[in-house]
């Protein structure tokens, strides 16, 4: 079983050739590709076997009688367009001819008793960055190279073209026919040229061998063949499913696609049918189940959806559904389900990006202000997962939209997200500019909850910029408002901030008091990221006091919580502090490993303030290892970067 072009016929012929000696009375190949009339299936079988019409017997009875005592293998190739007739033939043979074995190739199963299905997946493809040796061992690359050399004997995989070959094969998803059609183009184009033109793969992937069936001469003809065999409801569903990116679950499919003329039950049944016909795949490891179409099928469906005039309505339904997912995620991140929602939102990144891009396009398909609403819901996710650069690009684009620029409430929301994300990357000038304007707007609008949130963000930005008094004033006002509003989640954060500020000011006892208040509250409301950050603060307090034995379990607990829920930013911070502790205790190898891990994370997440702190630690590590010259280079590099980005030394460096 498998989609068109995946190599089912080749696999069936290979299996048949290997079994020739097992079936001394014959291996028979029945090619059904050119037959369109179901009534001709038995006639074709009779002709291949040399069976003639007999009086008082149907032709099917004659075929069964001929095979009744024989031990033969029959290969039934290309069954999908005659599935009912082939199933009836197979069922009759199974009942009357116990020594006959059948091997069929099709895009869906025959569903006869005793049938065993073997799905044929596309060939494995390489990953970005794989080297020449890995590419040469990759089955999809090997097939492409073999077919390319058949067209151009001088073609070879080299260091120069390896990245382009790897990217091409990955984009074609390991589909053998697509690889062969692409290989045919090397006669006139470089691999890089073919790759650049794959945005319109149906025009590029043509010119198959003349010996192939007509439907395999081009990629479009191949997919047309599968599509034309579908009933109307399944055609509609396949086209609507094309709006999903990176997969989807049943709830999403029902919500987005279950509109007239389909209902949710049609969607559920249709998903099963499309999987059975090899047009969708199901990730059996995911719970709940996730489904996806290969990009080749998805692009075809999207083209058909646009031609039908249904693309805008389906895209709008998709965007609104994923906005609801983002809203649920924001709530879920503030509680015991934080780990679940970090994973869920990560799984839906491609869909969320597509929905945001639609809003930012400002084409009227959805309200453009939806882009700001998405940013507001996803802000915490972006910070926790280290996706702040992506978030900043989105909110920067949203701020240019006329509806946002001209509406104070929307503009304030966007500025708040811009400020928080800038703070998380130690861009203090942008953070303070955005948050100051946001605070002014929100005070004017008279929104106490949003005023407090902005003050809390300002406190973080001021502290990291070295303005402890300003940070303390902002955090105290925020705490007062959160307490009045009985907002326990943000109250815990404000107490944590006041603890961080107190430690920066050298008031360790006050810092410890605020931290323990925040920790008790975070545990009570089951807020993992706040609990982890508070454990980190308590570890820092113990470290600064020289109580390393108390610091170690606090830092370990912080890392454990972050890793448990998938908080990458928090995990990097805990790892960095564990490295600092190991360095102080003289465990230089442990320090090197931990600081290296933190350094890589800070670089990936563009956390410049933390990055500079770790560079200082690595410089000290180098000095203790007797690498004075390297230490000097690191110190100079860190100080130079610190001056260029206008960052003070970290409050806790």
pLDDT tens, position by position, 258-293: 999 999 999 999 999 999 888 898 887 888 899 999
φ, ψ (nearest 5 deg) of residue 216: -105, 10
What contacts 588, CB < 8 A, 6 or more positions away?
A: 582, 621, 624, 625
Q: How many residues does the chain have?
A: 653
Question: For residue 250, what are the CA distances in angstroms to 103, 236, 245, 289?
Answer: 33, 16, 14, 7
Report the percentage of the chain scoring pLDDT > 70. 96
Instruction: Judge whether residue 337 has pLDDT over 50.
Output: yes
- CA 560 to CA 555: how far, in whole Å? 9
The sign one gets for the Cα dihedral 379, 381, 387, 388 is positive
Confidence of residue 645 (pLDDT cuts 50, 70, 90): low
DSSP 476: H
Question: Is-contact 403 429, C-beta < 8 A?
Answer: no
Identify the three-state secondary structure at position 30. Answer: strand
What integer best gives the mean pLDDT of the chain?
Answer: 90
Residues 525-535 pLDDT 10s: 999 999 999 99
Instruction: Judge whether residue 582 has pLDDT over 80.
Output: yes
Identify the three-state secondary structure at position 27. Answer: strand
Q: Say what the pLDDT of residue 244 is.
A: 97
Confidence of residue 210 (pLDDT cuts 50, 70, 90): very low
Q: What is the 3-state secondary structure (H, E, C) of 339-390?
A: HHHHHHHHHCHHHHHHHHHHHHCCCCCCCCCHHHHHHHHHHHHHHHCCCHHH
Q: Say what the pLDDT of residue 449 is.
A: 94
Instruction: Judge whether residue 25 has pLDDT over 70.
Output: yes
- Tokens for 495? 């107490």
Residues 362-388 pLDDT 10s: 999 999 999 999 999 999 999 988 899
Confidence of residue 652 (pLDDT cuts 50, 70, 90): very low
φ, ψ (nearest 5 deg) of residue 333: -70, -15
- CA 149 to CA 186: how far, in whole Å? 9
Confidence of residue 207 (pLDDT cuts 50, 70, 90): low
- Tokens for 516? 């323990």
- CA 297 to CA 330: how far, in whole Å? 33
Q: CB count, 10 Å around CB of 631? A: 18
- CA 412 to CA 418: how far, in whole Å? 10
DSSP 229: T
Q: Say what the pLDDT of residue 651 is.
A: 47
Q: Say what the pLDDT of residue 120 is.
A: 86
Q: In angstroms, how far apart are the furthest CA atoms of the chain?
A: 106
Exposure string for 222-259, b = 16+ CB within 10 A, e = fewer? bbebbbeebeeebbbbbbbbbbbbebbbeebbbbbbbb
Residues 522-562 pLDDT 10s: 999 999 999 999 999 999 999 999 999 999 999 999 999 99
Confidence of residue 107 (pLDDT cuts 50, 70, 90): confident
Instruction: Judge whether residue 201 has pLDDT over 80.
Output: no
């Amino acid at each position: 079983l498998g989609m068109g072009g995946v190599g089912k016929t080749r696999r069936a012929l290979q299996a048949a050739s290997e079994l020739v000696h097992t079936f001394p009375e014959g291996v028979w190949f029945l090619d059904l590709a050119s037959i369109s009339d179901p009534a001709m299936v038995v006639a074709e079988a009779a002709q291949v076997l040399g069976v003639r019409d007999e009086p008082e017997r149907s032709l099917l009875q004659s075929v069964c009688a001929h095979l009744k005592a024989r031990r033969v293998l029959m290969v039934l190739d290309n069954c999908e367009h005659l599935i009912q007739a082939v199933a009836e033939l197979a069922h009759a043979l199974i009942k009357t001819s116990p020594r006959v074995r059948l091997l069929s190739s099709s895009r869906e199963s025959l569903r006869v008793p005793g049938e065993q299905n073997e799905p044929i997946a596309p060939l494995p493809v390489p990953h970005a960055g794989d080297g020449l040796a890995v590419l040469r061992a990759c089955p999809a690359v090997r097939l492409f190279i073999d077919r390319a050399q058949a067209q151009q004997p001088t073609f070879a995989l080299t260091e120069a073209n390896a990245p382009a070959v790897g990217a091409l094969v990955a984009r074609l998803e390991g589909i053998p026919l697509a690889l062969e059609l692409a290989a045919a183009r090397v006669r006139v184009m470089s691999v890089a040229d073919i790759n650049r033109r794959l945005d319109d793969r149906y025009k590029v992937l043509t010119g198959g061998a003349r010996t192939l069936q007509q439907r395999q001469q081009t990629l479009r003809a191949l997919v047309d063949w599968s599509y034309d065999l579908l009933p109307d409801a399944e055609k509609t569903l396949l086209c609507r499913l094309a709006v999903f990116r990176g997969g989807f679950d049943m709830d999403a499919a029902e919500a987005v696609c279950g509109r007239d003329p389909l209902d949710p039950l049609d969607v559920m049944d249709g998903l099963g049918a499309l999987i059975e016909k090899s047009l969708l795949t199901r990730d059996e490891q995911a719970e709940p189940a996730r489904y996806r179409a290969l990009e080749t099928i998805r692009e075809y469906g999207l083209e058909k959806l646009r031609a039908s005039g249904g693309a805008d309505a389906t895209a709008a339904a998709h965007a609104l559904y994923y906005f609801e997912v983002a809203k649920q995620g924001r709530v879920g991140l503030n509680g015991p389900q934080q780990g679940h929602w970090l994973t869920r939102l990560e799984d839906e990144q491609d869909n969320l990006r597509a929905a945001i891009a639609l809003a930012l396009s400002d084409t009227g398909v959805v309200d453009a202000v939806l882009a700001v609403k998405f940013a507001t819901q996803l802000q915490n996710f972006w910070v926790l997962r280290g996706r702040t650069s992506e978030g900043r690009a989105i909110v920067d684009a949203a701020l240019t939209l006329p509806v946002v620029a001209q509406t104070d409430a929307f503009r304030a929301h966007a500025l708040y997200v811009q400020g928080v994300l800038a703070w998380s990357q130690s861009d203090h000038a942008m953070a303070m500019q955005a948050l100051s304007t946001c605070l002014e707007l929100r005070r004017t609008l008279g929104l106490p909850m949003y005023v407090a949130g902005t003050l809390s963000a300002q406190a973080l930005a001021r502290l990291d910029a070295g303005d402890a008094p300003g940070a303390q004033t902002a955090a105290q006002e925020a705490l007062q408002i959160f307490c009045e509003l009985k907002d326990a989640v943000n109250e815990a954060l404000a107490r944590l901030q006041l603890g961080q500020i107190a430690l920066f000011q050298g008031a360790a006892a006050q810092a410890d008091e605020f931290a323990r208040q925040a920790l008790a509250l975070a545990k009570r409301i089951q807020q993992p990221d706040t609990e982890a950050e508070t454990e980190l603060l308590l570890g820092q307090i113990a470290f600064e006091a020289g109580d390393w034995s108390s610091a170690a379990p606090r830092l370990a607990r912080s890392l454990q919580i972050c890793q448990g829920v998938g908080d990458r930013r928090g995990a990097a911070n805990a790892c960095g502090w564990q490295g600092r502790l190991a360095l102080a205790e003289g465990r230089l190898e442990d320090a090197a490993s931990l600081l290296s891990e933190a350094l890589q994370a800070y670089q990936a997440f563009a956390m410049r303030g933390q990055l500079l702190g770790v560079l200082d630690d690595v410089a000290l590590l180098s000095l203790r290892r007797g690498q004075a010259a390297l230490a000097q280079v690191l110190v100079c590099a860190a100080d130079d970067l610190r001056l260029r980005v206008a960052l003070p030394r970290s409050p806790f460096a």
